[in-house]
Amino acid sequence: MSEALGIFAAGTAGVFLSMMLLYGAMQISAAVITRWFEDKVEK
Amino acid sequence: MIEKLSTLIFTTGFVYLTPGMVFMWLIGLTLIFLAVAKGYEPLLLLPIGFGIVLANLPLAGLMEPETGLLWKFYEYGIHWEIIPPLIFLGLGALTDFGPMLARPSLIFLGAGAQGGVYIAFFAAHLLLGFSLQEAATIGIIGGADGPTTIFLASKLAPHMLGTCAVAAYSYMALVPIIMPPIIKLLTTATERKIVMPKARKVGRLEKIVFPLVGVLVMILLVPASAPLMSMFMVGNLFRECKVVERLNLAAQNELLNIVTIFLGLPVGATMNAQNFLRKDVIFIFILGLFAFIASTATGILVAKGMNLLSKTKINPLLGAAGVSAVPMAARVVHKMGQQADKKNYLLMYAMGPNVAGVIGTVTAAGIFLTLLK
């Protein structure tokens, strides 16, 4: 049971952590593009 | 002469037919019926149904290891990890990440909907005694992503591949029936009326950069997701860069259509009577449905949780679109939003969590592979 619980916790946290990092990467790339490369990207 | 006639008779398949094989024909024919007459996921359920019939023809040897035709499709297509990633290449070329990029916070709904995957995994292992690998394969059905289910099953529980694939595609076809009661149960009429603020316009460069950034971040985080994630993102890059239109169209059309044929037939062919007619199969279908329902519910609950933390409220219906049945889940959400308020157009907003759900399910599968293989 403890292994299943570990996978449950690690999996749920892992998916959210991945999405948080992807969110951050999306925000940074949008900011960089807006600032230096493509003025047309609206906020 | 009688001896020759007797030899001939004993080389026909009729002599070796078993009731189990005939029962499997009925299952295969039912899937073909649902695909043809009802239009339920016909691109997959039709070849899967035909594959089931073929796999249950005695002496045909189509799934005979080393020599059988469908065995070769299975071995070199699925077991060698070729066909599911190629399906993802086509899906990437068909996917517009624009709605997700326009409102990046909606990707958390795609993560939230994976909660059901892990809840079903836990339930399958703890309550019904499935091994961890089998439980993971059952849980991923909740992601409502057929190729990912097949990919994970081929790695962790090949004996359950056919059953899990049929369950995943069946529930994907039943999204308009399964989702609305759960959504109504978990949201109020007032919440369903929430109008989303106008999304910003996403430029071409941002759409080109996303698959590059996405592939770097996601594969560095979960390397086991690389076969699916890499193909998904390169397909999307074909689409967005606008300079390889031939590759884009080939990935969207010819390639996707061809690999769909070579996916469905061998998946169906894994379902022989011996593998399928076990009591476990009923539990797999029940748990798969539970996973699907739980994923819808956790997506909605995460949306409601985000509303508690944020000043700008989002319509919690969008959480249900976090399951990656693209675009059916988003359409159901849109329809329910319109039932609450005719002026509420949620489709483009719902596509954000819907495509994020695909990324989330691939990530969840990658995590299972990392921890269990």
Tell me if chain A has a CB within 8 Å of the CB of B101: yes
| Partner residue facing B118 (CB), from A11, A18, A33 | A11
Q: B196: closest CA among B314, B31, B68? A: B314
Q: Does residue B60 sit at the A interface (CB-CB below 8 Å)?
A: no
Residues of chain A neighbouring B109 (CB-CB closer than 8 A): none
Q: Residue A43: what pLDDT?
A: 45
The residues, ordered by sequence, that sit 6+ positions from B196 with a Cβ below 8 Å of its Cβ are B314, B315, B318, B346, B349
**Residues from chain A contacting residue B107 (CB–CB below 8 Å):** 19, 22-23, 26
Angle, CA B252 vertex, CA B46 and CA B37 arms, to 5°: 25
Residue B360: list chain A partners with CB under 8 A: 15, 18-19
Q: Is the pLDDT of residue A41 over 60?
A: no
Rounded Cα–Cα distance for residues B103 and A42 (Å): 12
Q: Do A29 and B359 touch (CB under 8 A)?
A: no
Which contacts qualify for A13-18: CB closer than 8 Å, 24 or more apart? Answer: A14/B221, A14/B222, A14/B363, A14/B367, A15/B111, A15/B114, A15/B360, A15/B363, A15/B364, A15/B367, A16/B108, A16/B111, A17/B221, A18/B111, A18/B217, A18/B218, A18/B221, A18/B222, A18/B360, A18/B363
Residue B301 structural domain: 81-372
Q: Say if B10 falls within a structural domain.
A: no
Chain B: give the shortest CA distance to residue A34, in Å: 9
Q: Is residue B177 part of a domain?
A: yes
pLDDT, chain A, mean? 87
Distance CA(B334)–CA(B196), nearest Å, equals 12
Kindly state whether B136 is in contact with chain A, defined as any CB-CB distance less than 8 angstroms.
yes
Q: Could you tell me the pLDDT band of residue A40, with boundaries at 50, 70 and 90?
A: low
- State the residue for tokens 């489709």: B347
Q: The tokens 């884009």 sit on which residue?
A: B248
Which chain A residue lies closest to B371 (C-alpha atoms)?
A7
> B8 lies in a domain?
no
Q: Which of B103, B213, B373 is the best substitution to test chain A (most A C-beta atoms within 10 A)?
A: B213
pLDDT at B346: 94
Residue B35 included in any domain: no
B213 contacts chain A (CB < 8 A): yes
Number of domains making up chain A? 1
Specify if B112 maps to a domain: yes
Q: Which residues of A touch B213 (CB under 8 A)?
A: 25-26, 29
Say whether A14 and B105 touch across the interface (CB within 8 A).
Answer: no
Least confident of A16-20, A34-38, B284-288, B351-355: A34-38
* pLDDT tens readout for residues B8-47: 888 888 989 999 999 999 999 999 999 999 998 899 899 9
**CA gap B346, B338 in Å, rounded:** 8
> Which of A16, A22, A41, A42 best tests the B interface by mutation, with the highest count of B CBs <10 A?
A22
The answer to whether residue B25 is domain-embedded is no
Q: Are B15 and B9 in contact (CB under 8 A)?
A: yes
Which residues span the domain enclosing A39? Answer: 1-43
pTM score, whole prediction: 0.92
Name chain A contacts of B104, Cβ cutoff 8 Å.
23, 26-27, 30
- pLDDT, one tens digit per residue, over B110-161 is 999 999 999 999 999 999 999 999 999 999 999 989 999 999 999 999 999 9
Total count of domains within chain B: 1
In a domain, B29, yes or no: no
Q: pLDDT value at position B200?
A: 87
- Predicted confidence at residue B321, as pLDDT, reads 95
pLDDT in tens, chain B (373 residues): 788 888 888 888 898 999 999 999 999 999 999 999 999 889 989 999 999 999 999 999 999 999 999 999 999 999 999 999 999 999 999 999 999 999 999 999 999 999 999 999 999 999 999 999 999 999 999 998 999 999 999 999 999 998 999 999 989 888 999 999 999 999 999 999 999 988 888 999 999 999 999 999 999 999 999 999 999 999 999 999 999 999 999 999 999 999 999 999 999 999 999 888 888 899 999 999 999 999 999 999 999 999 999 888 999 999 999 998 888 999 999 999 999 999 899 999 999 999 999 999 999 999 999 999 8
